[in-house]
Chain A
Amino acid sequence: MGQLGKDPQHNTFSLWQMTSIITSTLIGVGILTLPRTTTEKMLEAGWLAPILGSIFAFFVIWLIAVLSRRFPGLTFIQYSPIVWGGHEHSRLGFWLSLPWILIFIGVLFVSTAITSRIFGEVVVTAVLQDTPLEVIIVSMFVLAVFLCLHELDTLARVNEILFPLILFPVLFIAFASFQKAEWNNILPLIRVPLKTAIMGSFETSYSFHGYEIMLIFFAFAHGDTGKVKAGFYGIGISVFVYTLIVLAGIVVFGYEELQKVTWPTLELVKTTQVPGLILERLESAFLAVWVAAVFTTVANGYYALIYSLRQLLKKGMLFQRIASIVLVIPLFFVAIRPQNIVEIFNVTTFLGYTTVWISVVSPLIHWLIMLYRDRGRRTEKRSDAHG
């Protein structure tokens, strides 16, 4: 059981690598629309939404880390049957765990496709207006496939290298735009009813989706330490970046204007001037760097997807390589399925809801069952000792 996970070459993810995997997976296309989506319900208080919404994410990443700590070296795909069936009934466990695994894979599949589609939309509207959408999506997939041809440690290193490249431009834009801030825009601090605020934050929590890939990647942590810490660091950094960018959007534009623009963060970049006019029209530069952010989101998702399939079918590296190439074809068709921007945003909202539920409910159920089993085993042992 679980020979793959026990392979010594795999257990190499450092704390920093895991942190950067989480952060760079979370920060992706969502960052461009976040100021609009958060202020839709929460109005001026939109910047509170990422903070409140992250409570979910922190809880779930903690659950995932705890599960992973209980089954060191095993991925979700491997420990889910054990949780459901125990070591005795492995067949039963397999069938009971299959729906959870398939939902996990399915959500990863669709969200990866939609992420690359949104990426394509932004590039087509903002920079390369005559390039076909398909070309942009396919070239993103080619990069993802290329990463999937390699082992896991490559993925970790790629994330580690791209991490600062993702973080700093966003931070720079946020801080640079504060010079145009109109601070009255965030007042009154709270005017929406509490219920709306909670709903709004809940909707924001889907901008944190992506951390569920740690169901797979936590298995490859170096030793057994720092999983919870890595999870908290990773999500903490994302919360900071999200809050800052939403705050910048609100104080510069005001929530009403934010509702009217499709890509608020891109508009923020457009209005930002570095003093002295050294840098104007930053949006092309910003988008060029932002490609890295989307790449890590798409590629990490796709890698997790392919790796799950490989473990589910108990295959080797060759299967991973072939599958990553073959699966691009259906992925592409899912990506180009939504007809227009409105449909895409509908899909992301729907996906957001389902991901929140799945990423909360699935680890929670696994954790509860695990607790129940562990307790059962403990009482068993105790009665053994008595007898």
Chain B
Amino acid sequence: MAKGRVSVCCLLLFLMMSLLTGCWDRRELEERTSVIAIGIDMVEGKKNMYKLTVQIPIPIKIAGSSGQGGGGNKDAVKIMSVTGKTVVDASNNLQQRLNQRIFLGHTRVLAISEEVARRGIDDIIDAFRRDPQIRRLMWPVIVQGKASDLLEMKPGLIQIPVVFLMDLIENGTKMGIIPDQTMGEYLIQTSNETMQPMLNYVKAYKDDVKWKGVAVFRGQKMVGSLNDIQTWPLLQLRDEKRGGDVVVPLPGTKGGYVAFRPHFVTTKLKMNGSHAAGQKHHNGHAVTYFCEVQGDIVEMTQKPQGSPEEVIRMLQKLFKEEMEKRARKMLDILQNQYNSDILKLGLALRGHHYNDYWRHHNWFKDFKEFPIDVKYTVKLRRLGMEMH
């Protein structure tokens, strides 16, 4: 009896001891270096060397900001640059200059310079794909000019500069004027044969940053960009997002402008072409995007002539034509200049016309010849707080 009790005690002690081992490799928050943004540039003068720039927030500076006051945002982050043959090589070089271990789990922005993007970024992305710490929800962006400029900007409004960019993109996607292009989306678009990837395209200034549209890729190489006005029809056709305001000169006035703000966008893709098997060629395969936009007038700098009914009819026609023109321009650039399907049109075609179209065509090449048309329907709902 006593013997049994002793052994039970020993067993219990052993079990309790094993519980204590739970956190043997723990790391406190301040014991690791959280990188919040990574920038990738080419090294000038050297061909196959990358320059990796990282932005590291300094926790003490941020936490104490409310108490100490002042201080400014100059010291809230540390910016470091290293070079290396690959991303991992460069980050190893970075580790040798840091006292704590690098932690990429909080990285929110990956800035890639246009020069790198035009060379192709498949070798860079691979490292990020393998690393389990990397979030699929992080934002890769293409920077016009140098990526390190983006990390070194000082917006002043916010302590950590990159959070400024992140908020800008996040709020933009919520408003529907910036595409929701996360790392995960990019990875999906690169592996899917039916579509080409795109990424947000920004330009860094000394104390802020501007979203300039999207960078269009073909394969994993950047081939060009769309500006903001060309990106909005893309958002409307592809994602049914609202896009930005449309500002056009008001006809019949001198120097007057009218601004239209889309609110709800519904897009229907109508695909023509026979389903019959055995037919080899196009056979009238074509698509038409029917896009219905509901929205308000938010600005009218001069009053147009005519009764309200006529004015509304006139404005609807005006915006319909303007938006169709913009969408056709966008399609023209994508098809004839870049030959890159970032519309996800190929996915729909493969899904619905696999046997009669997809099997006989190489979408990567044939996208540019595919007939695409756009029809907008504009429905003016409100005129704001002012009548007329």
Contacts and interface: CB of A to CB of B under 8 A. Distances in A.
Nearest to B359: A191
B351 interface: yes
Nearest to B135: A270
B136 A191 contact: no
Contact of A254 (B136, B191, B348, B352): B191
Contacts of A131: 25
Given A185-B347, A188-B350, A126 B132 contact: yes
B192 A184 contact: no
A382 interface: no
A184 B344 contact: yes
Contact of A130 (B25, B129, B193, B355): B25
Contacts of A280: 137
Interface in A171-204: 182, 184-188, 191
B215 to A, nearest CB: 20
A65 B351 CA distance: 42
Contact of B347 (A130, A182, A191, A270): A182
Interface residues of B, number: 20
- Kindly state the interface size class of chain A when it binds its partner: 20 to 34
A352 to B, nearest CB: 26
Contacts of A187: 350-352, 354
B188 interface: yes
Interface string B118-160: 0000000000010010011100000000000000000000000
Contacts of B135: 270, 281
Specify which of B347, B348, B351, B352 lies most central, judged by the most chain A CB atoms within 10 Å of its CB.
B351
A271 B188 CA distance: 12
B172 interface: no
A142 to B, nearest CB: 8
Contacts of B348: 184
Contact of A256 (B25, B191, B351, B355): B191
B184 interface: yes
A270 B137 CA distance: 8
A256 to B, nearest CB: 4
A267 B191 contact: no
A273 B192 contact: no
Interface in B1-51: 25
A257 B188 contact: yes
A253 B350 CA distance: 16
A129 B347 CA distance: 38
A254 B192 contact: yes
Nearest to A259: B191
A267 B129 CA distance: 11
B25 to A, nearest CB: 4
B25 A260 contact: no
Specify which of B137, B187, B188, B347 lies most central, judged by the most chain A CB atoms within 10 Å of its CB.
B188
Contacts of B129: 260
Interface in A111-148: 125-126, 128-131
A253 B344 CA distance: 13
Interface of A: 125-126, 128-131, 182, 184-188, 191, 253-254, 256-257, 259-260, 267, 270-271, 273, 280-281
13 contacts: A184-B351, A185-B351, A186-B351, A188-B350, A188-B352, A188-B354, A253-B188, A256-B191, A256-B192, A270-B135, A270-B136, A270-B184, A271-B136
